[in-house]
Amino acid sequence: MTPELEQYKMKADCDGLVSLDELKSESISFSDDAVSILLNDFLGDVAEKISEELRTVRAKVDRTNATLLTSPLSVTAPRPTSPLSVTAPLPTSPLQKRVHAGFRERRLSVKKARLPLDAHQGNDTSSTDMFCQARELGTTSSACARPLFPRHIVGMFSCHGVEPSPNAEGTVSKINQDRGSFTYPFADDENQALFCVFDGHGKCGDVVSHVVMLEMQKRLAAALRESDDPSDVLERVFIEIDEALPQLIGSNACENSGTTGVVVLLRGTHCWVAHVGDSRVVVGSSWSSRLPVKELSHDHKCDDPIERARIIAAGGFVRPRPAPDLSARVYSDAAMTRVGLAMSRSFGDYCVKDLGVICEPTIAEFELINEDSFLVLASDGVYEFLSSQEVADIVGAALGENSSAEAACVTLIELAALLWRREVGDYRDDITAIVVRLDSFGFMRKEAKEAPRGNRVLLAAASYGV
């Protein structure tokens, strides 16, 4: 294990996780890297034995998941249990005391009946584009004999959150409102790829993020076939999708629900980034921890001076951060009792569209250089307790040990999830991440050409696995 990876023992020491019995009882799955990071200090000589036992536990959970999986697009079917689900009472960490008392209450999902997603699967399957959605961490893919992308180059997973059980001690799984996707070739161009992460919120947040994901792939590909100005196309498509949401899913569904969105269009060594909200994309180096991370997007927060001025000028109200680790929020009334949106730009959220919350994306254009060895897109579930630099260091250290992009992605998500558990205990936000090895990306052209024609189709699966 590299020194860069070892330093995260201090960041994820996970007070209370001191015995294998506790880990087994909570059905938590750990990668080998996560085991080393979190347990090495106090497991000593038995670390390898514990690692083997944890792998056995994880295998049992995976087999259980396989029997629980139902139709991925059914909103009434029981949700499978992720290896990261916590079903037992949680130990209390002293570090939880710093969490604001209202933190969990303001972030709990609304588990009401939602719109079915089945009506939003249609896309052009005549294209040669290969589209894949992030599957739930811990589930296995059974839709095709081989992955739609090489795992050593692209790693992409989503992990549903948890929240306090309303009827008993412990936690229950949240509806996963995150979506992540990857398309290659994109717009029938084998020199192009599209990466997206969307983080839904509100009662119909999963519907909004799912539909925006599908519409983004479809509309952006069509527009790029007609125009060679990616910046203009990205801005236009973001706004078109936002304006079309009432027709696509109904005005009620997008009135108090919405989604963030970060989109990366990669064309050779050139990339365009468009985003709204607080999902983020960074670039790092796997061969030198001395190189600072490059943030290709900057969160749209309500207390940013430019964002705040626009909201106030439109008649909205911005409540400052009640604590350093909590968010400023947008309200529609001076008493600050209605809405409380934690971002200044988003898809949907029509209840505050006239109050300065817009869907005009911030667009940036970059030329990648030799030192840029990997790309990370992630929802704010990753960045809640990790800085951009820490995310880059974790992924860079994992890739520096010759791990695949998929293994690095799993390590990042597991560490983020464990930090949620340590800092908050009985609440965890949805977590989605995509890791791309830029230094190996050229090999994808060969992989795509050799893929069976049956794999070159659009897959519109929900986040519980494809």
Report residue 387 CA to chain centroid gap. 15
Pairing of strands 154-159, 135-136: parallel
**What pLDDT was estimated at residue 327?**
87
Read off φ and ψ for residue 27, nearest 5 degrees: 55, 40
CA distance 134 to 434: 8
CA distance 127 to 208: 24
CA distance 279 to 204: 18
CA distance 235 to 255: 22
**Residue 26 · residue 91 · CB < 8 Å:** no
**What pLDDT was estimated at residue 287?**
64
CA distance 396 to 311: 38
Measure Cα distances from 251 to 201, 215, 247, 255, 360 in Å: 16, 17, 7, 6, 20
Which residues, 6+ apart, have CB-to-CB distance to 389 below 8 Å?
292, 293
**What pLDDT was estimated at residue 316?**
95
Beta strands in 246-290 (DSSP E): 258-259, 261-267, 270-276, 280-284
E strand or H helix at 337: none
What's the first-to-final CA gap in the chain, in angstroms?
32
- DSSP state letter for 132: E
**What pLDDT was estimated at residue 147?**
52
Question: Tokens standing for 116?
Answer: 């079915």
Helices (runs of H) and strands (runs of E) counted in the chain? 13, 19
Neighbours of 93 (CB within 10 A): 18
CA distance 332 to 334: 7
Global pTM reads 0.73
E strand or H helix at 151: none
Which residues, 6+ apart, have CB-to-CB distance to 312 below 8 Å?
318, 356
Alpha helices by DSSP H, listed for 190-229, are 205-226
Question: Among 386, 460, 375, 384, which residue's Cα sits nearest to residue 161?
Answer: 384
**Residue 381 · residue 424 · CB < 8 Å:** no
Question: Among 268, 293, 273, which residue's Cα sits nearest to residue 438?
Answer: 268
CA dihedral 31, 459, 454, 64 (to 10 degrees): 40
Give the full edge-to-edge strand order of the sheet including 339-341. Answer: 317-319, 329-331, 339-341
Domains of the chain, CATH where assigned: 1-300+360-466 (3.60.40.10)
Alpha helices by DSSP H, listed for 178-314, are 205-226, 230-249, 305-313
- DSSP state letter for 200: E
Residue 104 exposure: Cα atoms within 13 Å on the Cβ side: 20
Question: Among 381, 440, 389, which residue's Cα sits nearest to residue 154?
Answer: 440
Residue-by-residue pLDDT tens, the chain, 466 positions: 444 434 433 333 333 333 333 333 333 444 444 444 443 433 343 344 444 544 554 554 454 444 333 323 222 333 333 334 333 333 333 333 334 444 444 443 333 334 445 445 544 545 667 888 988 987 755 443 345 568 889 999 999 999 998 887 888 999 999 999 999 999 999 899 999 999 999 999 999 999 999 999 999 999 999 998 999 999 999 999 999 999 999 999 999 999 999 999 999 999 999 999 999 999 998 765 567 899 999 999 999 999 999 999 999 999 999 888 788 999 999 988 888 999 999 999 999 999 999 999 999 999 998 889 999 999 999 999 999 999 999 999 999 877 899 999 999 999 999 999 999 989 999 999 999 999 776 644 444 444 443 332 222 222 222 2
CA distance 304 to 342: 12
CA distance 279 to 294: 15
**Residue 85 · residue 178 · CB < 8 Å:** no
Neighbours of 118 (CB within 10 A): 12
Report residue 464 CA to chain centroid gap. 14
The identity of residue 422, as a single letter, is: R
E strand or H helix at 269: none
Neighbours of 284 (CB within 10 A): 27
